[in-house]
Chains A and B, each alone.
Chain A
Amino acid sequence: MAEMTMRDALNQALHQEMERDERVIVVGEDVAGGSGGSSGNEEAAGGIFGVTKGLKTRFGGNRVIDTPISESAIVGLANGAALAGMRPVAELMFADFVGVSLDQIFNQMAKFRYMFGGKAKTPVVLRMSMGAGMNAAAQHSQTIYPMLSAIPGLKVAIPSTPADAKGMLATAIRDDDPVIFFEHKALYARKGEVPEGEYLVPFGEAALLREGSDVTVVAIARMVPFAMKAVDKLAGEGITCDLIDMRTTSPIDEETILESLSQTGRLVVVDESNPICSIASEIAGLAASKGFHDLRAPVQKITAPHTPVPFARELERLYVPSPNDIEAAIRAVLKEV
């Protein structure tokens, strides 16, 4: 085990998978950077968040490919390369740019296998940064995983720790289905212990990060450390919670959530997305349809409000669900007898 940032853990997974399988390629805007620049440095960026740093130097320009700003063509290129036997890891700098390339994602990669009678394999990994918290405003801060999790044919992975980031990216690259891989930009600098060598985290298995008996708290991405803060604080008062990191929102590990709910009878779901058709709604729906008899209090959904992501610091701080909001929700479900 070594301590490293999520950024470096992702970088390590890319290095190891590219080393292991030469069909793995990396494509996107500025994944290396610097081509055509006056300094002659052909790896001037390594991705704007530094995740793809060093790959071009190690694996060369045939496998680490800078593209023009053409998101639709980036995803289309990955789709075609995958159908033809390669294993592309494509990058959209910001999840918001799914808006530019949505056809290639939801009409194309998600549907090939089904439409083509089960003959196609589309092993694309589409990496993208997401999330509010850095004042990047309405078009660079969204968490759109609910929208993509709703599309049959796509898998959706959302790590919250460096170890999961490494293990889940390796799993995504080896998966023969298309995987949308969300990286929360406020977590890139989060540090944690990461296993060395080959490390795989299976999809559809939530992580139980805290165990308790009073409330089940389900969270995703940056909401996981926030929820952990609230849960650990309440533990000091004798209120103990199961804290579940979903890790993948397609597939969803229903069993872990329902099993925990059967122990606690109380559920708080934390989701940075907007509230309508959110993952929080999905989990609340799961509790209502399959965990109804275990529920002893109404499910609390903690989400962002139904507004775009605002720019100003003060506005964004109001927008993003906070550890305080989560603590209040846990207290609220405990008030119900």
Chain B
Amino acid sequence: MSQIIAITLPKWGLEMSEGTVTAWHLAEGQSAEKGAELVDIETDKIVNSVELDQSGTLRRILVPEGEVAPVGALIAVMAEPAVNEAAIELFIAEYKPVDASFEPSEQGAEAAVAAPEPVAGATPPAGADLRATPLAKRVAEQSGVDLATVAGSGHRGKVTRDDVARASAPARSIEDIRAENATIHASPIARKFAGEVGLGLAGIAGSGRKGRVSLADAEAAAIRAGLWSRPAKPARGAGPAAAMPAETGSEQPFTGMRKSIARALAASKQNVPHFYTTVDLRIDALMDLRKGMNGSGGAKISVNDFLIRACGMALTEHPGVNVHVSENGVTLFERADISVAVAIDGGLITPVLRDAGQRGLRDIAGAAADLAARARARALTAEELKGGTFTLSNLGMFGVREFDAIINPPQGAILAVGGPRREAVEGPDGAVLFATMISATLSADHRAIDGALAAQFLATLRGLIEDPMRLLS
């Protein structure tokens, strides 16, 4: 025996992936003949011995008695006494064990949920019947695409709906589509929508009077053509149940917190003359900035943190919105102390983030996260709940598009923010672009705040959100 022999943990049968070394029959330095028992290995099913398949000297035991090792692991090394220690060390260091584990692949986490890749290199044979899915044929007909010009990505080069959509999109300019749509019998709103998403209305069977194409028809066609998807709607309750008897239900008495919410908000809604102004904010730049900042370490910054910071700055610029209102008059504040609404089990709590106009984003993010966590743990002090000058309420994470909030007296205004949505917008050269938008609605107390002031405040807010580098200053 001139070379070094690896003794590995054996695989005995289908189920075995590891074993416990229960007894070594040789000590390091001892020799034995072929067929001698070297080591006992135990699994939860069996105990068995490894026999030497050639004579030799045991030089190194790597897994002591009582320890578990996976199948294929190096558990000992045999070599002639002439082989020096350094060679054995090197052998051990360089030994690559077999991976006999039963664990599935750790790769492909993303691929697993992605759509299957088109079969590569599959193109339809020339001159053969055009292979296209029935859906693709219909969409091609509707969008005026010649199937013969479309490369198929389906099985054996079959043309799919997506292939047709791709083929139809860049073929004609948006102006061409709009010009053609102008000649189609369609409702104005349907035509406007079609122009926005780049949908040709020709060939769509209209469901309206005299075959007029309605918005619903156009939306359905745009979905089929892969040009548009319906924005997520806020969750709804179950639909009306026809002819079912009324349910009795069971009354849950108000908790203390719900009682105080009920009292304060009922008073506000009854006594405070609310008015509402809504603005759409494009947040693509903000999202990019946030991604960059969150990628660089430090406390994670949420969209809401950006909003807190922007409100703080806008309030500093428009102190007329940063007010408390009473029956007798208005109190203006220099500092923007923003109440941030946090939903918790059984209600709502609004801890105050002080001086939001002057604090940096990471500072705000840390403070907001701390307040929210302690709000959920009900560990806030009374001091932290008092003295807000303005409230920010964000239901975006629940899929809400926009909503009107009730002012939290004695504050003069509250901003209600919905969730992001993708919207088709017209780009600088007339092309259709997709933008990420959120809507923000300011509820203001008309006794102290006029419409123009509300609008100016929102314009400032919009400027900050859409040019988010300004939030870093």
Contacts and interface: CB of A to CB of B under 8 A. Distances in A.
Q: Do chains A and B touch in the complex (CB under 8 A)?
A: yes
Interface of A: 5, 7-8, 49-50, 133-136, 185-186, 188-189, 226, 265, 293-294, 296, 300, 302, 313-314, 316-322, 324-325, 327-329, 332, 336-337
A317 B103 contact: yes
Interface string B104-145: 111111101100000000000000000000000000000000
B104 A320 contact: yes
Contacts of A185: 14-15
Nearest to A268: B113
A186 B237 contact: no
Contacts of A8: 44
Given A300-B113, A313-B99, A337-B396, 19 more contacts: A49-B15, A50-B45, A134-B14, A136-B14, A186-B102, A188-B15, A314-B105, A318-B104, A318-B108, A321-B112, A322-B106, A324-B106, A324-B112, A325-B113, A328-B109, A328-B112, A329-B112, A332-B113, A337-B232
B397 to A, nearest CB: 8
B263 interface: no
A296 B399 contact: yes
A189 B105 contact: no
B105 A337 contact: no
B113 A321 contact: no
Contacts of B103: 317, 322
A337 B113 contact: no
A324 B419 contact: no
Interface of B is mostly: loop
Interface in B219-239: 232, 235-239
A214 B83 CA distance: 61
B421 interface: yes
B200 interface: no
B157 to A, nearest CB: 20
Nearest to A332: B113
Nearest to B106: A324
B110 A328 contact: yes
B420 interface: yes
A76 B249 CA distance: 53
B236 A293 contact: yes
A329 B110 CA distance: 8
Contact of A317 (B43, B105, B112, B232): B105
Contacts, number: 83
A5 B112 contact: no
Given A189-B44, A318-B105, A265 B235 contact: yes
Contacts of A50: 45
Contacts of A322: 103-106, 108-109, 112
Contact of B237 (A293, A317, A325, A329): A293
Contact of A325 (B99, B108, B232): B108
A33 to B, nearest CB: 13
B285 to A, nearest CB: 19
Contacts of B113: 300, 302, 325, 328-329, 332
Nearest to A5: B44
A337 B399 contact: yes
A134 B102 contact: yes
27 contacts: A7-B44, A7-B45, A49-B15, A50-B45, A133-B104, A134-B102, A136-B14, A186-B102, A188-B15, A189-B44, A226-B104, A265-B235, A296-B399, A314-B105, A316-B104, A317-B103, A318-B105, A320-B104, A322-B109, A324-B106, A324-B108, A324-B112, A325-B108, A325-B109, A329-B112, A336-B232, A337-B420
Nearest to A303: B112
Interface in B1-50: 14-15, 17, 43-45
A293 B104 contact: no
Contact of B112 (A49, A294, A325, A336): A325
A302 B112 contact: yes
B164 to A, nearest CB: 23
Contacts of A293: 235-239
